Homo-oligomer: A and B are copies of this chain.
Amino acid sequence: MNRSSKLSDKTIVCLLVLLIFCIPISSLGQTKPNIIVFLIDDMGWQDCSVPFDQTASALNARYHTPNMEKMASQGMKFTNAYATPVCTPTRTSLLTGMNAAHHGVTNWTSPQRNNSSDNPDLDLQAVDWNMNGLSPVPNIPKTVFATPFPKLLQAAGYSTIHVGKAHWASMGTPGANPHNLGFQINIAGHAAGHPQSYLGKDNYGNLPGKASAQAVPDLEEYFGTDSFLTEALTLEALKALEQPVKNHQPFFLNMAHYAVHTPIMADKRFVQKYYDQGLDSMEARYASLVEGMDKSLGDIMQWLDQKGNASNTIIMFMSDNGGLSLKPQRGGEAHTQNLPLRAGKGSVYEGGIRVPMLVKWPGKVAANTVAKQYVMVEDFFPTILEMAGVRNPLLVQSIDGKSFLPLLKNPSLQDSSRSLIWHYPNKWIPKDGPGINYFSAIRQGNWKLVYNQRNGKKELYHLSKDLSEANDLSNSYPDKVLALSKLLSLQLKQWKAKMPVVKSTGKSLPFPDER
């Protein structure tokens, strides 16, 4: 019996052709994994109950992040993951695969166009940086023109969703709107870098006559309610995922919480136990922000489980810079909030740039593993494209990141020849702090060179022996200082990185190898 012979050649060719056209957006056989970047704002390396150091600290004991613990137990912990010292440079690196010194968005972008967020300085002129942020189209003044990876994911059949803080570009430029960066759905993302309020009762800032540029958009259904911003964003994210999950369409979710950035407001669901512990009230509120963020992570993992999608979903947890360590914005003594790491947000010392990072990918990433190899935020770009099977994408930029997919498969891989670079030719706060305002740095292997652009001072640290960057070894290892200075300068010049200009001479400050 051969009924197939009843079908003509033509019919079968037609069927096959139809199939070929169908499959790319078909609901059948979703082979591409779902990808979630769970990005926290201003969360320090110690701001959780998962120890990223070799031993658990007092801070790890203070914070309650059971869902991060669960995620770590199910996946890989990166103990040497880096971001840039402040948010927009990190977010731009994430979306473009470029180092901040290369994309030139070296400071946080003001909501207002052509408005540098740099503080004025007596001696130095503000550097001419890309103060309007990232642009997906060319010829927008003071922006970096680049191809954001969500555009590529979208073209590859992904449903692309941004929820929460965007802060990629200033108002009046295309990058202000996440839609233009490749996100089909944008919830609550705009030009601002923090929420005016976390409270539904405050309409997240949208009170008539009181709204600032930081009033959070898109959440009117929660106005006047008790929904904390972190919770509202989570609910909206899950709502947005309903459709791709139903259609078996792969999704990319950029779950970019406004938490735990200032204003440090109590998340009522969690704050009482921190008050009860006798914590400084600011720090109690901060801990509640952290726990609310962790609950969001748990809710999303639970939802994926319920939908049967957990096994095909990669979650990558990351913070956009180190924990804030300024007084009076934080409680306790200044620059102690990330101990044993030195300093905090804004600094090129480890406290400003080393961040918690976790990756969960059932079946692909072994449970309860630890990767010690250093990685950096621009590495997400090639990693995510590789995860999504996007090969040889058409990009307008050359990328600096390196896929950490091999590391996910084998966490023992080591590469001590790679160099990571930080470059911050800007003035973040009015008064210079430790590693804060006009600094560059380079890490290669366990060596790290810190370069003070203003006074030319170079410090050298050995990170595995001196995580706290307490012992400057520059005098003992002049050759290492020289080598790293050269490597750093070479790379900065290749990227056409800017240096601040001395007002009195009109000349740029020298690169590290020039003095």
Contacts and interface: CB of A to CB of B under 8 A. Distances in A.
Interface stretch (A42-50, A201-209, A427-435): A201-209
Given A9-B4, A177-B218, A184-B185, A154 B243 contact: yes
Contact of A213 (B173, B208, B217, B219): B208
Interface of A: 1-5, 7-9, 11-12, 15-16, 18-19, 21-28, 111-113, 154, 171-177, 179-180, 184-187, 190-191, 200, 203, 206, 208-213, 215, 217-225, 236, 239-240, 243, 247
10 smallest A-B Cβ distances: which pairs?
A: A22-B22, A171-B223, A5-B5, A211-B211, A176-B220, A172-B224, A171-B220, A176-B221, A177-B221, A217-B217
A224 B172 CA distance: 6
Contact of A220 (B4, B26, B190): B190
Contacts of A7: 4, 7, 12
27 contacts: A2-B5, A4-B9, A18-B28, A21-B26, A22-B27, A24-B27, A113-B223, A113-B224, A154-B243, A171-B220, A171-B221, A171-B224, A172-B225, A175-B221, A176-B223, A177-B220, A177-B221, A179-B187, A179-B239, A180-B239, A184-B185, A184-B243, A190-B220, A191-B220, A208-B212, A208-B213, A217-B217
Number of copies of this chain in the oligomer?
2
A4 B24 CA distance: 25
A211 B206 contact: yes
Most B CB within 10 A of own CB, among A111, A212, A223, A225: A223
B21 A18 contact: no
Contacts of A18: 19, 22, 26, 28
A4 B8 contact: yes
Given A4-B4, A9-B4, A179 B224 contact: no
A232 to B, nearest CB: 11
B211 A174 contact: no
Contacts of A1: 9
Nearest to A215: B211
A292 B15 CA distance: 48
Most B CB within 10 A of own CB, among A21, A217, A221: A221
A449 to B, nearest CB: 39
Nearest to A191: B220
A180 to B, nearest CB: 7
Contacts of A213: 206, 208
A179 B240 contact: yes
Nearest to A236: B179
Contacts of A172: 200, 220-225
Nearest to A223: B171
A208 B115 CA distance: 15
Contact of A19 (B15, B176, B184, B225): B15
Contacts of A211: 206, 208-209, 211, 215
A427 to B, nearest CB: 23
A222 to B, nearest CB: 7
A12 B19 contact: no
Contacts of A15: 12, 15-16, 19
Given A4-B11, A185-B185, A21 B27 contact: yes
A215 to B, nearest CB: 7
Contacts of A222: 172
A190 B221 CA distance: 9
Given A210-B209, A223-B171, A22 B28 contact: yes
A243 B11 CA distance: 31
A244 B213 CA distance: 32
Nearest to A239: B179
Contact of A217 (B4, B111, B171, B218): B218
A12 B113 CA distance: 60
Contacts of A177: 218-221
